[in-house]
Amino acid sequence: METFDALCKRASVREYLDKPVSKALLEQLVDAGRRAPSARAVEPWEFVVVTERPTLDKLGAMISTGLFLKQATACIVVFCSDTKYYLEDGSAATENILLAATDLGLGTCWIAGDKKEYCEDVARLFGVPEHMKLISLISVGWAAKDVKQRKHRLVKDVLHWEKF
Ligand SMILES: Cc1cc2nc3c(=O)[nH]c(=O)nc-3n(C[C@H](O)[C@H](O)[C@H](O)COP(=O)(O)O)c2cc1C
């Protein structure tokens, strides 16, 4: 798939088939994440890949907007050390993972991390050091149904040539 096709195809997937995703594919997603740009090239990210059902269930119970984690096949939890641009860097890594997953035919959904009340609980669950920030949790799996990309604001409505 061409990069632009993946951009046009990506959509949040919250229902998954009961079908495993191989370790090799999950590793490829992390490979995509770690290739993101980062301010001053500090690469502050760490990725926790979860495939065990009890842990996915715990995350689903912890995160009200991520209940569907209970039936996701995997979850990639993105943490960054507390650098000046941790949120931008971690978000770039997250988006890389979403696009790579689309390219591989996998469904994903970005679940909020930063500033959420469950940040500490999630970090504790994985034994993550205190100085690290939770950026996002990415549910991963094979989509249970076809999900079309939603309608986005049009180029003509968002593009301002030279002046706002
Ligand atoms: C920073 C951020 C946080 C998000 N948090 C959640 C979340 O907690 N739960 C969820 O179901 N979707 C979450 N989403 C996904 C958005 O709801 C989704 O991207 C938006 O509705 C647009 O739909 P699309 O991804 O299909 O284009 C989040 C997306 C972003 C960028």
* pLDDT tens column, 18-42: 999 999 999 999 999 999 999 999 9
Ligand 1 contacts CB of residue 21 (under 6 A)? no
Q: Which letter, b or e, does each residue of 33-46 get, where b requires 16 or more Cβ atoms within 10 Å of its Cβ?
A: beebebeeeebbbb
Low-confidence ranges of the chain (pLDDT < 70): none
Model-level pTM? 0.98
- What pLDDT, on a 0 to 100 scale, did the predictor assign at position 76? 99
Ligand 1 contacts CB of residue 25 (under 6 A)? no
**Domains and their CATH numbers in the chain:** 3-158 (3.40.109.10)
- What pLDDT, on a 0 to 100 scale, did the predictor assign at position 20? 96
**Closest Cα to atom 19 of ligand 1:** 12
- What pLDDT, on a 0 to 100 scale, did the predictor assign at position 1? 73
d(Cα 89, Cα 82) in Å, to the nearest integer? Answer: 11
- What pLDDT, on a 0 to 100 scale, did the predictor assign at position 81? 98
